[in-house]
Amino acid sequence: MTSPVDEAGPARKSSSPVHTVLIHGGSHGAWCWWRVQTELRHRGLVSSSFDLPGSGDDRTPREAITTGDLVDAVIAHIDGLGVDRVRIVGHSIAGWLLPPVAARLNERNRLANSATRPSNGASTPAAHIEIVELVFVAAATLNRAESGFDVTPQQRRPGYYFIAEASSDNSLLGDFQSCWDRFFQHLNEPRARATYALLTPQAFGPYLSPAEVGIEEVSCSRRYIAMDEDRTYPLDVTRAFAGKAGVEPLVIPGDHCVMLSAAAVLADAIADGDSE
């Protein structure tokens, strides 16, 4: 599932607006960003969201999904937008994807700007796409060779293996109570149950893959947004993630899935980058 690309609201100063690409975290899909997209549109920002492989309505077999597949999906989505300036926002484990996506786009930009063009009939590099900033929202950050599992809290790791091994496709999805308690405890029970019904199992394979590009290797501008009542990545953890990204986190009120429980607050935090 891919959201419709939101039209901008009030006229922007730049003739080339920044397109905000919203990447969901584990077990979620494009649907989790729709309230935020509405709020961003009210603030004059253009945005889009989409389903990563194996998530939401995407039917890619989960047992075969790699981190490379996830990165490829983000690049394909950005390429399909036909824009030249993007802000890339990643929630939770989508933080793993931002450095390799940025590295790929930056390398393409380098080739596109090069005076040398292929003389053997090969296609020319893709058009230049400027990354205005990376925004990590309660997101894990990885250095080169770290895996997502390496930064998963120790006490959760045995349970992840147990759930993945018990599944039919090497995937993860907790029960309702554990998801409500850890991810979206600010939702009331009816909304929490409706949200849980939309969750899809998360491919486990990418958790175990060492990062080929670390956050320390990417030169893009970046920000980190943390939530004060996040039970998945508490503040001490998100402060450490932000430190790896070389920034101080902006702490806002909310739980881990703040896009569901406080969309306007998160939209304000994302939109702040447009006023800088």
**Residue 32: which of 22, 42, 40 has the closest Cα?**
22
- Contact in structure between 92 and 138 (CB atoms under 8 Å): yes
Residue 266 CA to residue 19 CA, distance in Å, equals 17
Instruction: Domain 19-114+126-275: give its CATH code.
Output: 3.40.50.1820
Residues 36-40, mean pLDDT to the nearest whole number? 98
Mean pLDDT of the chain: 92
Confidence check: pLDDT of 16 > 90: no
**Residue 52: which of 17, 19, 20, 96 has the closest Cα?**
96
pLDDT tens for 99-144 read 999 999 999 998 888 745 555 555 545 679 999 999 999 999 999 9
Q: Using 50, 70 and 90 to split pLDDT, how confident is the model at 8? A: very low
Residue 144 CA to residue 272 CA, distance in Å, equals 29
Confidence check: pLDDT of 44 > 60: yes
**Beta strands 171-172 and 202-203: pairing type?**
antiparallel
Residue 26 CA to residue 7 CA, distance in Å, equals 27
Residues 248-274, mean pLDDT to the nearest whole number? 96
Helices H / strands E in the chain, number of each = 9, 8
**Vertex 185, ends 263 and 92: CA angle to 5°?**
60
- Contact in structure between 142 and 245 (CB atoms under 8 Å): no
Q: What is the pLDDT of residue 144?
A: 97
Q: Quote the tokens at residue 91.
A: 């929630």
pLDDT tens for 196-235 read 999 999 999 999 999 999 999 999 999 999 999 999 999 9
- Contact in structure between 222 and 133 (CB atoms under 8 Å): yes
Torsion sign over Cα 60, 140, 173, 200: negative
Q: What is the pLDDT of residue 152?
A: 95
Q: What is the pLDDT of residue 12?
A: 35
pLDDT tens for 93-105 read 999 999 999 999 9
Q: Using 50, 70 and 90 to split pLDDT, how confident is the model at 74? A: very high
Backbone torsions φ then ψ of 47, nearest 5 degrees = -150, 165
Residues 65-77, mean pLDDT to the nearest whole number? 98
Q: Using 50, 70 and 90 to split pLDDT, how confident is the model at 275? A: low
With pLDDT > 70 as the criterion, what percentage of the chain qualifies? Answer: 89
- Contact in structure between 47 and 132 (CB atoms under 8 Å): no
- Contact in structure between 237 and 150 (CB atoms under 8 Å): no
Residue 160 CA to residue 207 CA, distance in Å, equals 10
